[in-house]
Amino acid sequence: MVVATPTPLLRRGNNKKKTAAFGVPIIDLSDDKSIASEMIVKACEDYGFFKVVNHGVPKKVIARMEREAADFFSRPVSEKGRAGPAAPFGYGSKNIGFNGDKGDLEYILLEANPLSLSQRAKNFSNDPSTFSSVTNDYLSGVRKLSCDILELVAEGLWIEDNSIFSKLISNSHSDSCFRVNHYPPFIAPNNDDEDELNNNHLDLSPNPSKSKVGFGEHTDPQILTILRSNDVSGLQIYTHDGFWIPVPPDPNEFFVFVGDSFQALTNGRFTSVRHRVVSINSWKSRMSMMYFAAPALDAWISAPPQINNIITSNVYRPFKWGDFKQIVYSLRLADSRLDYFKNHT
């Protein structure tokens, strides 16, 4: 199903607010597979973004992960700092990456494999075994969800081997990672409207006194991102027609983003979605958890022949995920990394 409701939109580079009808594509994974696969492909083509319901990840698994993360972020700065600095894994604050990008947030970044988690858990919890167990349970759930989605995509693209994408991230050497972002409450100066604060109103004004960048605009380099947040707004996606669209939070469901690598794997048929987080007027902090589904470092990113038969020319030359990752780390957050791998003939 696709739900469309009037939503205030902000055109990029334009101070004027505009209103249009936009509905976040909603995919019910309990639907018939042929229906779900067709809808996922369309959402990936039109937006690079959608929401999934009936996803199969137990609520108690999500709630336990949220409690563990909230417990860590509630600690004194000096205590949290012992888990950092993020290089790239660990605890970080304000600095995003290595090239000068900053945001109004703190975060933890972890490798999504049991061995690494067990080694790092003591830095994030007084009960490392519980932290490790809870995080592994959560990652197991979202990893399976990612594989289910990728297999539905393959079916929707009429690829005979429906594991052609999912096996990239189910590989034991997968380079997938897990990130939790924590954005502090933001109260705009001279804003005494308690109703507005309690309603988590999203101010799209470019006036910095009314909004604050939590995480700057970017695309995700991996194959897929599976995001879950609490009930505080702030996420925005950028559409093909030049609008920033606020995405209403839904703590019970997951949002899915097409990443750069998936754009390359589909020879540009899918587009990785540009997105950002803008701090809003709220007494409450925003917390979001992202699973970044990635292949092994030595895995080749190349569109399968079935897709290349549909799109006559190869938009991107084949590349290894590890090589692409090096490019990602060398650039600013908002840079377009896939440009480095385009065929220019």
- Residue among 235, 229, 230, 233 at smallest CA distance from 198: 233
Sequence-ordered alpha helix ranges (H) in the chain = 33-46, 59-73, 77-80, 114-120, 128-156, 166-170, 194-198, 260-265, 305-310, 321-330
Structure tokens of 248? 């209403």
Rounded Cα gap, residues 173 and 4, in angstroms = 40
* Catalytic member of 143, 228, 276, 286: 286
What three-state secondary structure class fits 279? strand
298 burial type by CB count under 10 A (0-12 exposed, 13-18 middle, 19+ buried): exposed
Query: 47 with 25: CB under 8 angstroms?
Result: yes
Residues forming a β-bridge with 279: 212
- Report the residue count for the chain: 345
Residue 286 falls in the annotated catalytic set: yes
> Could you give the residue numbers annotated as active site?
286
